[in-house]
Structure 1
Amino acid sequence: MKKSKKFFIRICLSTGILASATLLTACFGTPAKHVKANYKVTAEAIPDYQSKNAPISSYWMPDKFLEWSAENDKDLVYNQSRVPLTKRISPDKLSPSNQNQNKKTKIVALSMMNSQTSGNPSRGTTKFESYTFDYWQYIDTLVYWGGSSGEGIIVTPSADVIDEAHSNGVPVLGTIFLPPKEYGGKVDWVKTMLKKDEQGQYPFASQMVKVAKTYGFEGWFINEETQGLNADDAANMKALIQQVKKEDSSLQIMWYDAMTKDGKVDWQNQLNDQNATFVQDKAADAMFLNFWWTQNNLADQKLLEKSNLYAKNTILTLIIFMPE
């Protein structure tokens, strides 16, 4: 829908310009040969995806994220969503498509809406290089996927994505990607994120709340895959998430199955006593289970059934994410 709409707008604009030029020629005739055209290409004439002055969607490294303020954000007006989250029809009012459909099932999509982390125009471009999501009606939450050790590891959804999602009643989460060391991840980045102030609070958590509320999206997906941390770091990570939820309980936090309670990166591919701590005690709202439970050597272990049983025994809601 988004592509066709933009395409339609571009066609209209081009047609309008062409019609104006044709009308002027008809009224005044062909320009005299002695009139020399002396045009200069200015920044305004450069396509928006090439212009150095075009506002771009935000991305940061941890230290720069901590320095962010609404007052100093020159592109804030372009990066804020002003479309309210539309209320969707209740699942109870929908007719099941088959007898096996469970109306309580929720679907989350992790989607790389733009082709890179940096340099993405805040409100789209005249160049077709974005993934225009076209099945909003089938998902309940969108994670705006991104993050790069060479560009920025904290990524907000671009404003056009938030607006489009909200128009379809879909909440959107930004991404905090703490990459493995082999992909450029640094322990110092995690330590910066987990640093406390003199009052024992996490400034990073407060920034997560401020940025999400100011930009107008619904929360964060945290993907901690950096090796070299310990149990204290894991405890601090949980406490940071708890602070976010305490400051604003309406924000959604989704945790990825990578870091365990001892701080190691060890994908469990299930919910168990190694990772459940991050969704307990008013911490994260949901956990994204790692994909490997679908592999043959793990599928026979019935990890999803075990996760479901663990969730019931610990009074948790199990959320399972299917790979595309």
Structure 2
Amino acid sequence: MTTHPPGSEAPRPASTLVDRASGKDAPPYVPYWHPGPTLPTGCASILKWSAATDVNAPFNRSVVALRPRAKDQAPELRANSRARAGEGRVMSCAQFWGTGQNWPQGVSDHRYYAFSHWQYLDVLVFWAGVADAGLICPPNGHVTDAAHRNGVKVYGSVFFPPTGDGGNKAWVEDFVRTKTVNGTVTYPVTDKLIEAARYFGFDGWFINYETPTDAVTEAGLRAALAYARAKSTVEFTWYEGGRRELTGAGDRRNDFYLQDGSKRVCDSVFIDYGWDNAAITRSIATAKKITRDPLDVYYGLELVRDVPENPALARLVCPVGASHRGSLALYAAHTVSNQPKEPKDAWLGHFYRAEADFWTGPCHNPSDTGWPGIAAHIGERTTITSLPFVTHFNAGHGTAYHHAGAKVSQGGAGWANLSLQDILPTYRWITCCTGNSRLAASLAFDDAWEGGSCLRLTGALAPRYEACVRLYQTQLALATDTQLTVRAQTPSDAKFSFCALIALGGEPTDLVPVKLSTTDTSGWKTYTADLSAYSGKNLVQLGLKLHLDRSAPTDLAYDIKVGQMALHNGTFTAPPPPTGLTIDHATATGSDRKALRLRWTPPAETGAIRHYALHRGTGTAAHLGATPNTVYYLDRLDKGSDTTTTLTVTSVGLDGTHSTTGATTTLTW
């Protein structure tokens, strides 16, 4: 599988890739390596890499741990009656950028692959690799942050290209080269793969093997991977071109890349396109013969081009009304929403329509049983298992940045940083209306309470009728002081009422309305609901209900924005501030412009901090960027009329509240 399929953004040519010798003056792009020591001109070996000496490494770390998903959820919580949970898994192989010049903490453009249907995914493969640049490519830290927040593992890519794409047998030989240390045989390259995954905070590696070698080298590959798997929890997936089933016989044998006798070689295997029902049956038998779970076998679906057979093929793996026979691997999943970056105004609409078409169907409703897509095969999973839970419906990108309902950054092409992405609604979108009422749910990017987007509900309410939207699947223990806070722009009509919808563990589909109260009369209103009556219960669903009183003289058209939903015990307080903001390095990128490498010290207690925000000046009205990390690369700071510029970094709490003070530093122009 090529790393830059038709229609995707191809990696930059080697001549434009970052010069690693330029040190701190260059942006801290995501690294990439060859195994070494056989290197194309200008390329680096992973054997020479060390986090201790890599000045860019801290900027590329993920700091969000992999969250566990709820277990033993009721089957009724699945949106689609055909879907099954806890069986077949889904792997997405997706390209978020090219191999080179890959920004570590987001980009200054909202037109980014801001994937968000994590509830259907198990593994994300960060697809990259180019023969004359780098074969070993770890993922962006900010992408890993978003995946981990939703319980999804992230793998980097190891690409051994076909000869026609520049592949070289010597690179594979470098990968399997051994070194004896105190009488023990080691594999230095796989040791470095483990080191990189642990340091950067991701979960495994996808081995994309397409370079022709020989039996001795391939035996070395199996030995190197089994060695790595035995000494760590870092995972591996194996792909080999042309292998269309799992088999233990003949010259296409590949079962020993999954299990070689008593040795676990890889955690899963990706079966190349061209498989059929008989191939699945034979693969299941082979997996059982080597005592491996058939679900460790992922059957590839190519998404680069339109393949009319894909829905039927997916049903072979995930049959209706029967146990799943394996797992699904989606090659080039980013291409389902690919588009030119112009016109800018239409980009967001196209992106979210195309993503929803693929993941939840053309009705954009995962409960629609007529759609043979991902939501019809795989039941939704959730990581919302502890309080507090807060969402601002922030998709991790936008054309402007908002804080407390006010724009604090706008202009240019916007921004994208998936470290800031909230857990978005589990059910997109399941609505129900009575009478002549209507409701459509979506994400809106023209306003927000915090971040770049909010939930938008539009439609009309008929007198005495209602409209409802299911939003989140949860597994939350409610207490005597649990309450719900909602920030929303709602109609001022006195006949309109706003309720939360909750479902409890004993009756998972019985959505109970809970009145939301407010004293606000305009703008972003703060609604609250006391949930103490449900203390000791398990909350399994959360949604919203709109109602118009029967005495209303006519229908009420509405356009509601919801900027925050927060389930919490007690009240939120401002988080403790960071200290010691330091400009580690400044680089002039123009006559009146600089790029800055910044670092700061976190407070002793960080449990109440979601991320840190960087501002121009001493307040929070001029937003420059944000990260959960304690380092940040600001790619552009304009001088303007300043002779000196003060920068401030504040802690941002789970509910969006900033620390009352921040750490400051001053740049002298």
Alpha-carbon offset, residue 129 of structure 1 = 5.0
1:307 aligns with 2:283: yes
Secondary structure at the residue paired with 2:236?
A: strand
Amino acid at match of 1:174: G
Secondary structure at the residue paired with 2:173?
A: helix
Alpha-carbon offset, residue 99 of structure 1 = 4.5
Instruction: Provide the rounded CA distance (Å) in 2 between the counterparts of 1:91 and 1:223.
Output: 35
**Which position in structure 1 is the counterpart of 2:237?**
254
1:69 aligns with 2:47: no
**Which position in structure 1 is the counterpart of 2:217?**
233
* 8 Å CA contact 2:255, 2:286 repeated in 1: no
Instruction: Provide the rounded CA distance (Å) in 1 between the counterparts of 2:270 and 2:256.
Output: 14
Alpha-carbon offset, residue 306 of structure 1 = 1.3
Instruction: Provide the rounded CA distance (Å) in 2 between the counterparts of 1:92 and 1:244.
Output: 34
Higher helix share: 1
**Which position in structure 2 is the counterpart of 1:282?**
264
**Which position in structure 1 is the counterpart of 2:91?**
108
TM-score (norm 2): 0.37
Long gaps (5+) in structure 2: 1-23, 37-44, 304-669
Alpha-carbon offset, residue 107 of structure 1 = 0.9
Change (3 A) 1:94 1:52: farther
Secondary structure at the residue paired with 1:70?
A: coil
**Deviation readout 1:85-143 (Å, 9 max, x if unpaired):** 111122644534224635312111111111x1110110111024531112111101111
Secondary structure at the residue paired with 1:221?
A: strand
Instruction: Provide the rounded CA distance (Å) in 2 between the counterparts of 1:53 and 1:93.
Output: 51
**Which position in structure 1 is the counterpart of 2:108?**
126
Change (3 A) 1:113 1:80: same
Alpha-carbon offset, residue 284 of structure 1 = 0.4
* 8 Å CA contact 1:85, 1:166 repeated in 2: yes
* 8 Å CA contact 1:113, 1:133 repeated in 2: no
Secondary structure at the residue paired with 2:93?
A: strand
1:197 aligns with 2:182: no
Instruction: Provide the rounded CA distance (Å) in 2 between the counterparts of 1:100 and 1:246.
Output: 35
**After the TM superposition, which of the residue ranges 229-238 and 213-222 deviates more from structure 2?**
229-238
**Which position in structure 2 is the counterpart of 1:12?**
none
1:177-188 equivalences under 5 Å are 177-188=159-170
Amino acid at match of 2:246: L
**Deviation readout 1:31-65 (Å, 9 max, x if unpaired):** xxxxxxxxxxxxxxxxxxxx963211111122211
Change (3 A) 1:278 1:322: closer
Instruction: Provide the rounded CA distance (Å) in 1 between the counterparts of 2:157 and 2:72.
Output: 28
* 8 Å CA contact 2:268, 2:298 repeated in 1: no
Amino acid at match of 2:257: F
* 8 Å CA contact 2:236, 2:267 repeated in 1: yes
1:1-324 equivalences under 5 Å are 53-63=26-36, 64-90=45-71, 92-95=73-76, 96=78, 97-99=80-82, 101=84, 103-114=86-97, 116-199=98-181, 200-227=185-212, 229-248=213-232, 250-258=233-241, 267-273=242-248, 274-280=253-259, 281-293=263-275, 299=276, 302-318=278-294, 319-323=297-301, 324=303
* 8 Å CA contact 2:270, 2:298 repeated in 1: yes
Instruction: Provide the rounded CA distance (Å) in 2 between the counterparts of 1:226 and 1:192.
Output: 13
Instruction: Provide the rounded CA distance (Å) in 2 between the counterparts of 1:289 and 1:303.
Output: 10
* 8 Å CA contact 1:92, 1:103 repeated in 2: no
How many residue pairs get aligned? The number is 257
**After the TM superposition, which of the residue ranges 167-176 and 303-312 deviates more from structure 2?**
303-312
Instruction: Provide the rounded CA distance (Å) in 1 between the counterparts of 2:72 and 2:94.
Output: 24
Higher Rg of the two aligned structures:
2
Instruction: Provide the rounded CA distance (Å) in 2 between the counterparts of 1:168 and 1:159.
Output: 15
Higher strand share: 2
Instruction: Provide the rounded CA distance (Å) in 1 between the counterparts of 2:247 and 2:144.
Output: 33
Instruction: Provide the rounded CA distance (Å) in 2 between the counterparts of 1:315 and 1:56.
Output: 42
Instruction: Provide the rounded CA distance (Å) in 2 between the counterparts of 1:129 and 1:67.
Output: 35
Instruction: Provide the rounded CA distance (Å) in 2 between the counterparts of 1:91 and 1:230.
Output: 47
Secondary structure at the residue paired with 2:274?
A: helix
* 8 Å CA contact 2:271, 2:298 repeated in 1: yes
Alpha-carbon offset, residue 151 of structure 1 = 1.8
Long gaps (5+) in structure 1: 1-50, 259-266, 294-298
Instruction: Provide the rounded CA distance (Å) in 1 between the counterparts of 2:173 and 2:34.
Output: 12
Between the two structures, name the one with larger relative contact order (CA 8 Å, sep ≥ 6). 1
Instruction: Provide the rounded CA distance (Å) in 1 between the counterparts of 2:106 and 2:83.
Output: 40
Secondary structure at the residue paired with 1:321?
A: strand
* 8 Å CA contact 1:165, 1:172 repeated in 2: yes
**Deviation readout 1:275-306 (Å, 9 max, x if unpaired):** 0001112110100011121xxxxx3x721111
TM-score (norm 1): 0.75
**Deviation readout 1:215-264 (Å, 9 max, x if unpaired):** 0000100011101x11111111011111111221x211111133xxxxxx
Change (3 A) 1:89 1:190: same
Instruction: Provide the rounded CA distance (Å) in 2 between the counterparts of 1:123 and 1:154.
Output: 20
**Which position in structure 2 is the counterpart of 1:36?**
none
**Deviation readout 1:179-222 (Å, 9 max, x if unpaired):** 00100011111111111113431101110110000000001000
Instruction: Provide the rounded CA distance (Å) in 2 between the counterparts of 1:91 and 1:292.
Output: 35
* 8 Å CA contact 1:206, 1:247 repeated in 2: no
Change (3 A) 1:289 1:107: same
Instruction: Provide the rounded CA distance (Å) in 1 between the counterparts of 2:234 and 2:155.
Output: 9
Instruction: Provide the rounded CA distance (Å) in 2 between the counterparts of 1:100 and 1:214.
Output: 36
Instruction: Provide the rounded CA distance (Å) in 2 between the counterparts of 1:143 and 1:309.
Output: 27
**After the TM superposition, which of the residue ranges 211-220 and 77-86 deviates more from structure 2?**
77-86
Instruction: Provide the rounded CA distance (Å) in 2 between the counterparts of 1:147 and 1:282.
Output: 26
Change (3 A) 1:78 1:98: same
Secondary structure at the residue paired with 2:52?
A: helix
* 8 Å CA contact 1:257, 1:269 repeated in 2: no
